[in-house]
Structure 1
Amino acid sequence: MALNSINTNSGAMIALQNLNTTNSELQTVQQRINTGKKVGSAKDNGAIWAMSKNQSATASSLNAVKDSLQRGQSTIDVALAAGDTITDLLGKMKEKALAASDTSLNTASFNALNADFVSLRDQISKAAANAKFNGISIADGSTNSLTFLANTDGTGFTVKAQSLTLAGLGLDTTTPAFASASAAKAMISKIDTAIGTATNKLATLGTSSTGLDTHLTFVGKLQDSLVAGVGNLVDADLAKESAKLQSLQTKQQLGVQALSIANQSSSSILSLFR
């Protein structure tokens, strides 16, 4: 038989314990809804929290890799743009050399073609010298290769430089370009060789650019996967938490009523003294 006592109300204590448990769960659910995370700190789940922080750091550091790869793309794009200009100039130089090889030309016409040839040649030097992005060039002969970040461990993606200068194309810089029609005729084969060299170098740069594009796409997908993985670890299911919130709020109201009823049970003892 239960003991009727005004000093100890076991029913009220049990109701209070249950209400405190409900309030604690309700606080947890409200925090998850407010933050959107089921693991917001180390005390929620130390192992998951540590894992998420490590993966988040890796995902964030991939931004530096992407920036480096994009600089590489831009550096190559500038070199390719200069290369297109240079191949066009080489084509015009060949045209001038071929015209100058005509032995029927008078001196004035020959000299004019020579001057045009020299002007075009000088433009090649300027195009190669100006093919820089952020002060860096892989077309002016100043470097053998450039290495861009490829991963968070510091490993790199190396792009071999391709000199598009006159020397890099096998052309000399002497003035005048040719002194006679026969010299102009000999220059044609040199220009053909230079065009072949330039196109081969541009093809190599194009292959490197494609490699950078592919790796940049991979890094982007890797970063997205890491971010999604961290979300799977720490993000709260808001639909589930919302349903649980409704349940706990109802349970809290019932707990308050149960505690009130339990607190009133001791007053029934008064009726025994009437």
Structure 2
Amino acid sequence: MAFSVNTNAGAFAALQNLNQTQSELNTTQTQINTGLRVSSAKDDAATFAIAQTLRGEVSGLQAVSSSLDRAQSSLDVAIAAGEAVSDLLIELKEKAVAAKDNGLDTASRTSLNDDFEQLRDQITSIVQNAEFNGTNAVQNNGDAIIAITNDTGSNTITIAAQDLSLAGTNVAITATQDISTQDLASAAVADIESSIENVNTALSALGSGANRVELQQNFVNSLSDSIEVGIGNLVDADLAETSANLQSLQVRQQLGLQALSIANQAPQSVLSLFR
């Protein structure tokens, strides 16, 4: 074995091993700090690329969830309006049937007609105010309710608008209809009965649409959760294993420092040859 004070091979080897240990220790500490085994492309380029793609899908699904939430809220408002209109039509029928009584005096008929007109006008008020986020699905020429259903926005759910306005598609009574006479009351009863049937059909369509949106929302939430779990399986660090590695690397670091210290003292042994 040659003795040299110019070249200390043992120190070089000890320093190289110490640097390797320090690099592994830095990686382990990063995993503990971030909770990720793969936090950048430097850690594992292929896995990082896959995880980023999946994160993009999750981000898109979050937009889908927001779109479905808005659609559900619009449907809730439309259904609430439809149910209110249906209730009003039932009350209108009661007033109209009562006004068909030939034995009514003038005061009673006038009172019934006043009530009828108030209830009739309330339908217009409800329909005009049944709006959410700029969407009104129950007015004349109302807005269809549309929601995106996939992370690229290429697929949608569309719930058709239902016209519940006076003299519209589903409500036969007009904005000026009254029950001031027996004949007018008879005509109103016929119009109201057909209106009740039509409004119930419209409500059925809105309710089915709401159920479809809810099912899609549940699916999107489940899909997003599954993808999140998949991303975790790819990039999350096993903190129990990482903790054990940290303990091992800290010991190796201390031993490496001691080995380097011993290697640095080796050239001094040459001095004993000159005593």
3-state secondary structure, aligned to 1:93: helix
More off after superposition, 203-212 vs 43-52? 43-52
Please list the CA deviations of residues 201-240 of structure 1 after superposition, one character each: whole Å capped at 9, or x if unmatched. 1111111111111111111122222222222222222221
Q: Distance in 2 between matches of 1:29 and 1:106?
A: 93
Please list the CA deviations of residues 107-135 of structure 1 after superposition, one character each: whole Å capped at 9, or x if unmatched. 33223222221221111121111111122
More off after superposition, 157-166 vs 5-14? 5-14
Query: Hey, what does 1:245 align to over in structure 2?
Result: 246
Q: Which amino acid aligns with 2:250?
A: Q
Aligned 8 A contact 2:123 2:165 in 1: yes
Query: Hey, what does 2:235 align to over in structure 1?
Result: 234
Query: Hey, what does 2:29 align to over in structure 1?
Result: 30
Aligned 8 A contact 1:145 1:160 in 2: yes
2:266 is the counterpart of 1:272: no
Aligned ranges 1:258-269 → 2 under 5 Å: 258-269=259-270
User: Which runs of 4 or more aligned residues in structure 1 lie more than 4 Å from their structure 2 counterparts after TM superposition?
Assistant: none
Provide structure 2 residue ranges, at least 5 long, that are not aligned to the other structure.
Answer: none
Q: Distance in 1 between matches of 2:201 and 2:249?
A: 72
Aligned 8 A contact 2:173 2:192 in 1: no
Task: Give the alignment's TM-score, normalised by structure 1.
Answer: 0.93
Q: Distance in 2 between matches of 1:7 and 1:175?
A: 111
Q: Which amino acid aligns with 2:191?
A: K
Query: Hey, what does 1:209 align to over in structure 2?
Result: 210
Aligned 8 A contact 2:86 2:196 in 1: yes
Q: Distance in 2 between matches of 1:228 and 1:89?
A: 50
3-state secondary structure, aligned to 2:37: coil
Q: Distance in 1 between matches of 2:100 and 2:208?
A: 37
Equivalent residues, number: 273
Provide structure 1 residue ranges, at least 5 long, that are not aligned to the other structure.
Answer: none
Identity value in percent: 47
Describe the shift of the 1:221–1:174 C-alpha distance in structure 2 as closer, same or farther (beyond 3 A). Answer: closer
More off after superposition, 97-106 vs 46-55? 46-55
Aligned 8 A contact 1:114 1:176 in 2: no
Shift of 1:268: 2.3
More off after superposition, 230-239 vs 126-135? 230-239
3-state secondary structure, aligned to 1:4: coil
Aligned 8 A contact 2:75 2:145 in 1: no
Q: Distance in 2 between matches of 1:168 and 1:126?
A: 17
Q: Distance in 1 between matches of 2:254 and 2:171?
A: 89
2:54 is the counterpart of 1:55: yes
Shift of 1:272: 2.5
More off after superposition, 143-152 vs 212-221? 143-152
Please list the CA deviations of residues 30-83 of structure 1 after superposition, one character each: whole Å capped at 9, or x if unmatched. 122222222222222111112212211221222221111111111111111111
Aligned 8 A contact 2:173 2:188 in 1: no
Q: Distance in 2 between matches of 1:63 and 1:49?
A: 21
Query: Hey, what does 1:67 align to over in structure 2?
Result: 66
Task: Give the alignment's TM-score, normalised by structure 2.
Answer: 0.92
2:93 is the counterpart of 1:94: yes
Aligned 8 A contact 2:144 2:160 in 1: yes
Aligned 8 A contact 1:40 1:234 in 2: yes
Q: Which amino acid aligns with 1:169?
A: N
